[in-house]
Amino acid sequence: MIAMRKAAGLSFLLVAFEFFAADALAADPAAEVKALQAVDHTWVKAYNAGDAPAAASLYDENAILMPPGAQSVRGRAAIRAFLASDMAASAKAGVTFHLGEKSDGGVTGAMGWVSGTYSVTDKSGKVVETGKYLSVSKKENGKWLYVRDTWNSDGAH
Protein backbone atom coordinates (compact mmCIF):
# COMPACT_ATOMS: atom_id res chain seq x y z
CA MET A 1 0.00 0.00 0.00
CA ILE A 2 2.80 2.45 0.88
CA ALA A 3 4.63 1.57 -2.33
CA MET A 4 1.46 2.29 -4.33
CA ARG A 5 1.05 5.69 -2.70
CA LYS A 6 4.68 6.54 -3.37
CA ALA A 7 4.32 5.43 -6.99
CA ALA A 8 1.14 7.48 -7.38
CA GLY A 9 2.80 10.51 -5.81
CA LEU A 10 5.86 10.12 -8.02
CA SER A 11 3.65 9.77 -11.10
CA PHE A 12 1.81 12.97 -10.17
CA LEU A 13 5.10 14.83 -9.73
CA LEU A 14 6.39 13.61 -13.10
CA VAL A 15 3.19 14.67 -14.86
CA ALA A 16 3.28 18.08 -13.15
CA PHE A 17 6.95 18.53 -14.08
CA GLU A 18 6.27 17.63 -17.71
CA PHE A 19 3.35 20.05 -17.84
CA PHE A 20 5.29 23.01 -16.43
CA ALA A 21 8.52 22.19 -18.24
CA ALA A 22 6.73 21.94 -21.57
CA ASP A 23 5.07 25.31 -20.95
CA ALA A 24 8.38 26.96 -20.05
CA LEU A 25 10.21 25.41 -23.01
CA ALA A 26 7.46 26.32 -25.47
CA ALA A 27 7.98 30.06 -24.96
CA ASP A 28 10.53 31.88 -27.09
CA PRO A 29 12.43 34.12 -24.63
CA ALA A 30 13.39 36.70 -27.28
CA ALA A 31 9.78 36.95 -28.47
CA GLU A 32 8.55 37.29 -24.88
CA VAL A 33 11.02 40.13 -24.20
CA LYS A 34 9.77 41.87 -27.35
CA ALA A 35 6.21 41.42 -26.07
CA LEU A 36 7.22 42.99 -22.74
CA GLN A 37 8.86 45.90 -24.56
CA ALA A 38 5.69 46.34 -26.63
CA VAL A 39 3.72 46.74 -23.39
CA ASP A 40 6.11 49.56 -22.41
CA HIS A 41 5.47 51.30 -25.74
CA THR A 42 1.72 50.87 -25.30
CA TRP A 43 2.05 52.46 -21.86
CA VAL A 44 3.91 55.48 -23.29
CA LYS A 45 1.28 55.99 -26.00
CA ALA A 46 -1.51 55.83 -23.43
CA TYR A 47 0.36 58.15 -21.06
CA ASN A 48 1.02 60.80 -23.70
CA ALA A 49 -2.61 60.56 -24.85
CA GLY A 50 -3.84 61.08 -21.29
CA ASP A 51 -5.60 57.71 -21.34
CA ALA A 52 -5.31 56.55 -17.72
CA PRO A 53 -7.74 53.62 -18.13
CA ALA A 54 -5.67 52.22 -21.02
CA ALA A 55 -2.40 52.62 -19.11
CA ALA A 56 -3.88 51.13 -15.93
CA SER A 57 -5.18 48.11 -17.86
CA LEU A 58 -1.53 47.11 -18.33
CA TYR A 59 -1.17 46.53 -14.56
CA ASP A 60 -2.11 43.46 -12.56
CA GLU A 61 -5.05 44.02 -10.21
CA ASN A 62 -2.61 43.91 -7.25
CA ALA A 63 0.33 45.72 -8.87
CA ILE A 64 2.47 48.26 -7.05
CA LEU A 65 3.59 51.47 -8.75
CA MET A 66 6.64 53.07 -7.13
CA PRO A 67 6.94 56.63 -8.50
CA PRO A 68 9.85 58.86 -7.48
CA GLY A 69 9.21 61.30 -4.67
CA ALA A 70 5.85 59.77 -3.79
CA GLN A 71 4.36 56.93 -1.77
CA SER A 72 3.87 53.57 -3.47
CA VAL A 73 0.52 53.16 -5.16
CA ARG A 74 -1.16 49.77 -4.67
CA GLY A 75 -3.77 48.21 -6.93
CA ARG A 76 -5.02 48.92 -10.43
CA ALA A 77 -7.73 51.39 -9.37
CA ALA A 78 -5.30 53.49 -7.32
CA ILE A 79 -2.72 53.31 -10.12
CA ARG A 80 -5.36 54.55 -12.59
CA ALA A 81 -6.14 57.50 -10.31
CA PHE A 82 -2.45 58.32 -9.82
CA LEU A 83 -1.76 58.13 -13.55
CA ALA A 84 -4.80 60.28 -14.40
CA SER A 85 -3.52 63.02 -12.10
CA ASP A 86 0.06 62.68 -13.35
CA MET A 87 -1.04 62.68 -16.99
CA ALA A 88 -3.12 65.81 -16.45
CA ALA A 89 -0.15 67.57 -14.84
CA SER A 90 2.11 66.53 -17.72
CA ALA A 91 -0.41 67.73 -20.30
CA LYS A 92 -0.79 71.06 -18.49
CA ALA A 93 3.00 71.45 -18.39
CA GLY A 94 3.20 70.54 -22.09
CA VAL A 95 5.66 67.70 -21.60
CA THR A 96 5.85 64.39 -23.44
CA PHE A 97 7.33 61.10 -22.25
CA HIS A 98 9.68 59.02 -24.47
CA LEU A 99 11.42 55.67 -24.04
CA GLY A 100 15.08 55.25 -24.90
CA GLU A 101 15.88 53.23 -27.99
CA LYS A 102 17.55 50.38 -26.16
CA SER A 103 15.97 48.47 -23.32
CA ASP A 104 16.93 45.19 -21.77
CA GLY A 105 14.73 42.41 -20.51
CA GLY A 106 14.46 38.83 -19.50
CA VAL A 107 11.88 36.13 -18.98
CA THR A 108 11.72 33.05 -16.82
CA GLY A 109 8.49 31.11 -16.98
CA ALA A 110 5.56 33.47 -16.47
CA MET A 111 7.69 36.28 -15.00
CA GLY A 112 9.58 38.92 -16.94
CA TRP A 113 11.35 42.24 -16.52
CA VAL A 114 12.33 45.20 -18.65
CA SER A 115 14.66 48.08 -17.85
CA GLY A 116 15.73 51.04 -19.89
CA THR A 117 15.93 54.78 -20.10
CA TYR A 118 13.42 57.54 -20.68
CA SER A 119 13.34 61.22 -21.46
CA VAL A 120 10.77 63.97 -21.06
CA THR A 121 10.59 66.82 -23.57
CA ASP A 122 8.82 70.16 -23.45
CA LYS A 123 6.69 71.66 -26.24
CA SER A 124 9.78 72.84 -28.11
CA GLY A 125 11.32 69.36 -28.03
CA LYS A 126 13.93 70.30 -25.44
CA VAL A 127 14.80 67.45 -23.06
CA VAL A 128 13.82 68.53 -19.55
CA GLU A 129 14.43 65.21 -17.78
CA THR A 130 16.18 61.89 -18.33
CA GLY A 131 16.04 58.79 -16.21
CA LYS A 132 15.74 55.04 -16.01
CA TYR A 133 12.95 52.57 -15.32
CA LEU A 134 12.40 48.97 -14.27
CA SER A 135 9.22 46.97 -14.58
CA VAL A 136 8.48 43.42 -13.47
CA SER A 137 5.58 41.65 -15.16
CA LYS A 138 3.74 38.37 -15.08
CA LYS A 139 2.03 36.63 -17.93
CA GLU A 140 -1.59 35.84 -17.23
CA ASN A 141 -3.97 34.38 -19.80
CA GLY A 142 -1.47 35.18 -22.57
CA LYS A 143 -1.09 38.85 -21.55
CA TRP A 144 1.87 40.50 -19.81
CA LEU A 145 0.81 42.66 -16.85
CA TYR A 146 2.99 44.86 -14.69
CA VAL A 147 3.25 43.68 -11.08
CA ARG A 148 5.91 46.25 -10.08
CA ASP A 149 6.80 49.45 -11.90
CA THR A 150 9.29 52.13 -10.93
CA TRP A 151 11.43 54.88 -12.43
CA ASN A 152 13.74 57.65 -11.30
CA SER A 153 15.35 60.74 -12.71
CA ASP A 154 19.04 61.07 -13.48
CA GLY A 155 18.93 64.67 -12.17
CA ALA A 156 19.40 65.87 -8.62
CA HIS A 157 16.23 66.48 -6.63
State residue 40's pLDDT score. Answer: 97
> Going by C-beta distance under 8 Å and a sequence separation of 6 or more, which residues neighbour residue 153?
68, 129, 130, 131
Cβ atoms of 29 and 46 within 8 Å: the answer is no
The verdict on residue 86 lying in a domain is yes
The verdict on residue 19 lying in a domain is no
State residue 155's pLDDT score. Answer: 85
The verdict on residue 17 lying in a domain is no
The verdict on residue 15 lying in a domain is no
Number of domains in the chain: 1
Q: What is the DSSP string of 55-102?
A: HHTTEEEEEEEE-TTS--EESHHHHHHHHHHHHHHHHHHT-EEEE-S-
CATH number of the domain that residue 105 is part of: 3.10.450.50
The verdict on residue 84 lying in a domain is yes
- List the domain range (segments joined by +) for residue 100: 28-153
The verdict on residue 68 lying in a domain is yes
The verdict on residue 38 lying in a domain is yes
Q: What tens digit of pLDDT does each residue of 46-96 get?
A: 999 999 999 999 999 999 999 999 999 999 999 999 999 999 999 999 999
What's the whole-model pTM score? 0.81
